Structure 1
Amino acid sequence: MEIYLIRHTTPAIESGICYGFSDIDVADTFETEAAAVKAKLPEGDFDVYSSPLLRCHKLATTLFGDKVITDERLKEMNFGAWEMLAWEAIGKEELQTWADDFVQAKVPQGESYEELYLRTMAVVEEIIEKGNNAVLVTHGGVIRSILAHATNTPLVDSFDLKVQYGRISQLQVENGDIKVIFYNS
């Protein structure tokens, strides 16, 4: 069984802004980036899952038409009270408290990285149980958490796994074991 993870294309937001659950549109480069993703996709029949957020769903439907299944659990991390704030506008103490233990510490009115990981892996386990080849069009945090699981990387070290916009990662599942074939292609 193969699972392809596709990160959405460049979002239409200036750098330095905290966003996760916010429904951001894609940048003007979308058509070019989507064509580059499409050129790398393998042939075959896939179940296609997407975050419902516009930056993912737009790419998923552009690539796969109306066969896309949306799943709330594939959303990016919920940054709660910090959503759409400039990172520098977030209180330094509050930000440092979270940064010191971002895996377990919850963002105010949001979630922890561990909570994102748990909801993400619940989706992945359901997909593996179905046994069909699948594509997930989702976000950097979601993909990073799946790659961390597949490579036995502790969540605290998972940000060393760089996941770029509009890139594909391939996983192979055999007897319940997940192996990374490539990532960030």
Structure 2
Amino acid sequence: MEIYLIRHTAPAIESGICYGFSDVDVADTFEEEVALIRTKLPAGSFDVYTSPLQRCRKLAAALFGEVAISDDRLQEMNFGDWEMKPWESIGRAELQKWADDFVIEKVPGGESYEDLYTRSMEMIAELIEKGNDAVLVTHGGVIRSVLAHVTNTPLVDSFEIKVNYGRISHLHVEDDQIKVIFYNS
């Protein structure tokens, strides 16, 4: 079984803004980025799933038409009260409390990285049980958490795994074992 994880293209948001769960649109470079992704897509028949956020839905539709199944588990981390605020405007003490243990510390009004990891892995387990080749059009946090699981990287160290916009990661599943074929390609 093959699973391809595709990160959405560049979002239309200025640098330094905290966003995750917010429904940010795609940047003006969308069409060029889609063209590049198409050159890297594998041939075959896939079940296609997407985050319901428009930056993923638009990419899924551009690549696969309207066949993608929307799944909330594929959304980016919910930064709660911090969503759409400049990082520099978030109180230092509040930000430091989260940064000191971001894996289990929930963002005020949001979720923890562990929450994102749990829902991401629930989705992967469900796909493995179905056994069909699949493409997931999703976000960096989801992809990074899945790759951390597969590579036995502790979540606290997983931000060393680079996941760029518009890149594909490929997982191979056999006998319930998952291995990374490539990532961030």
Distance, in Å, in 1 between the alignment partners of 2:14 and 2:136 is 25
Extract unaligned runs of 5+ from structure 1.
none
Distance, in Å, in 2 between the alignment partners of 1:32 and 1:90 is 34
- TM-score, with normalisation over the residues of structure 1? 0.99
* Percent sequence identity over aligned pairs: 73
Q: What is the match of residue 138 of structure 2? A: 138
Q: Secondary structure at the match of 2:31?
A: helix
Q: What is the match of residue 35 of structure 1? A: 35
Query: Partner amino acid for 2:168?
Result: I
Q: What is the match of residue 14 of structure 2? A: 14
Q: What is the match of residue 67 of structure 2? A: 67
1:71-90 alignment runs, 5 A limit? 71-90=71-90
Q: What is the match of residue 48 of structure 1? A: 48
Q: What is the match of residue 175 of structure 1? A: 175
Distance, in Å, in 2 between the alignment partners of 1:175 and 1:90 is 46
Query: Partner amino acid for 1:115?
Result: D
1:115-134 alignment runs, 5 A limit? 115-134=115-134
- Cα deviation for residue 66 of structure 1 reads 1.4
Query: Partner amino acid for 1:176?
Result: D
Runs of 4+ with deviation above 2 angstroms: none
- Cα deviation for residue 39 of structure 1 reads 1.0
* 1:34-72 C-alpha deviation (Å, 9 max, x unpaired): 110011001000000000000001000100001100100
Distance, in Å, in 2 between the alignment partners of 1:157 and 1:13 is 27
1:164 pairs with 2:125: no
Extract unaligned runs of 5+ from structure 2.
none
How many residues in Structure 1 have an aligned counterpart in Structure 2? 185
- TM-score, with normalisation over the residues of structure 2? 0.99
